[in-house]
Amino acid sequence: MKTIDLIKESFDSLKSNKLRTGLTILGIVIGIAAVISMISLGEGSKISIQKSIESLGSNNLIVFPGIIQPGRGFVSSGRGEAQVLKKADVEEIEKIDNIVAISSEIQRRFQVIAETGNNRNVIILGVNIGFFTVRNMEIENGNLFSDEQIRNYSKVAILGSQIANDLFGDNDPIGKKIKIKNLTFKVIGILKAKGSTGFVSYDDFIIIPYTVMQKQLAGTEYFNSIAVKVNSKENIQKVREEIINRLTILHRVDEPDFTVFSQEDILSTLTSIINTFTIFLSFIAGVSLLVGGIGIMNMMLTSVTERTKEIGLRKAVGAKNNDILNQILLESIFITLLGGILGILLGLLISYGVSKIANITTYISLKSILASVIVSTGVGLIFGYYPAKKASNLDPIVALRYE
């Protein structure tokens, strides 16, 4: 039997019961659309996390005080309690090759009052000059700190774009005064807006020299973290080991009392969380695809039973078992293929809608489209096979007598 005839015969049978065929296709459409939109959501969040982490500066290593135990994650590590990172650590790290910049950071939360009378509870970040390089921060308006200002405990502040707006509204904050814990600071610059990076948004921070922060606000000589920008990806591992060695010796401890994270660590942790989530969602969506597949099997079984006589006749006039098998299989593959294509279109529409309405990044890769075409055709093959086999094995004599 020629392929063209096979296609024509299959198509004719499907056409003969349009409503039933349509409803069965709908089952597959829903299944595929669900899978596609779930995957697009997962892929989208992966990409947006990746982007926001990269926007914090690439090739970065971050040294935190304290040991982060595997399995407990780094959020719940209670790192604020461990105090080990001091200026000496920064100077030790400076001796390492292949480092572009070092950012030593200390943060506290304080009540801030602006000249305008507005007040907010804000995270104040004490930094050195390296901060702006390491964290990819740029000044929108005004100036950066100078080395002198940092060395001389100058009470100058750079505002995040959001906090600048909160405190000063439409007024230009440059040159204005703000009060942090009774100390008066002069605003010298505004940061360029960066948006949320997933955990922190520097738009809500106030940046001041770390010297003032340590001495006059926090009353400590320790840092919360030291971030290091490495000159290239290849050197990250080397620099990390160097930092661990040097600081361990400096601290005179056997085991490091600090932890070095790379951005890749954070990224891969987050990615694996999202992957798990995506798989979970896709699995649920996959259940609806399975139900769609069962719908096909149900329809094909009904249709084979209805067509018992026809199958008997076809066999009597010379159809081989394989001709019947192929025809029924092709019918179910056609249903899933059409359902798959429509499902992809619906899935695209849903993910577009979600990204527009809920403002969530979605991403549909060619891979996921190809995969769903293959999966839906596979569903057709698997769920069509049993009815097709049943039809092809019909005894023509019995089939022709079937009432």
Query: What is the smallest separation between the CB atom of 302 and other proteins, expressed in angstroms?
Result: 16
Tell me which residue of 260, 304, 302 sits closest to 93, measured CA to CA: 260
Contact residue for other proteins among 113, 313, 354, 382 (CB under 8 A)? 313
E-strand spans in 263-390?
none
For position 22 contacting other proteins by CB under 8 A, the verdict is: no
Residue with tokens 């990076």: 197
Nearer to other proteins, 196 or 305 (CB): 305
Contact residue for other proteins among 322, 353, 370, 402 (CB under 8 A)? 322
The C-alpha atoms of residue 95 and residue 90 are separated, in whole angstroms, by 9
Q: What type of residue sits at position 74?
A: F
For position 311 contacting other proteins by CB under 8 A, the verdict is: no
Query: What is the smallest separation between the CB atom of 400 and other proteins, expressed in angstroms?
Result: 7
For position 320 contacting other proteins by CB under 8 A, the verdict is: yes
For position 315 contacting other proteins by CB under 8 A, the verdict is: yes
Nearer to other proteins, 12 or 234 (CB): 12
Note whether 257 and 82 are within 8 A (CB): yes
Q: Which residues from 2-21 bind other proteins, rule CB under 8 A? A: 2, 4-5, 9, 12-13, 16
For position 305 contacting other proteins by CB under 8 A, the verdict is: no
Q: Residue 144: helix, strand or coil by DSSP?
A: coil
78: left (phi over 0), alpha (psi -120 to 50) or beta: left
- The DSSP bridge partners found for residue 139 are 191
For position 321 contacting other proteins by CB under 8 A, the verdict is: yes
Query: What is the smallest separation between the CB atom of 323 and other proteins, expressed in angstroms?
Result: 6
Nearer to other proteins, 319 or 350 (CB): 319
Contact residue for other proteins among 19, 317, 357, 358 (CB under 8 A)? 317
In Å, the largest CA–CA distance within the chain is 104
Query: What is the smallest separation between the CB atom of 27 and other proteins, expressed in angstroms?
Result: 24
Mask 340-379, x = binds other proteins (CB under 8 A)?
Answer: ----------------------------------------
Contact residue for other proteins among 47, 246, 310, 346 (CB under 8 A)? 310
Q: How big is the site for other proteins, counted in residues (CB under 8 A)?
A: 25
Note whether 39 and 343 are within 8 A (CB): no
Angle between helices 18-55 and 263-306 (to 10 degrees): 180
Q: Which residues from 193-232 bind other proteins, rule CB under 8 A? A: none
For position 100 contacting other proteins by CB under 8 A, the verdict is: no
- Which residues have CB under 8 Å from 181's CB, separation 6+? 110, 111, 217
Nearer to other proteins, 40 or 392 (CB): 392
For position 396 contacting other proteins by CB under 8 A, the verdict is: yes
The C-alpha atoms of residue 56 and residue 133 are separated, in whole angstroms, by 10
- Provide the H-helix boundaries in 203-320: 210-212, 236-251, 263-306, 308-316
User: Residue 262 is inside which H or E element, if any?
Assistant: strand 258-262
- Which residues have CB under 8 Å from 252's CB, separation 6+? none
Query: What is the smallest separation between the CB atom of 399 and other proteins, expressed in angstroms?
Result: 10
Q: Any idea what the Cα angle at residue 200 is, between residues 195 and 201, rounded to 5°?
A: 30
The C-alpha atoms of residue 378 and residue 195 are separated, in whole angstroms, by 43
Query: What is the smallest separation between the CB atom of 293 and other proteins, expressed in angstroms?
Result: 26
Residue with tokens 């305008």: 116
Contact residue for other proteins among 314, 344, 364, 368 (CB under 8 A)? 314
Binding site for other proteins (CB under 8 A): 1-2, 4-5, 9, 12-13, 16, 309-310, 312-323, 396-397, 400
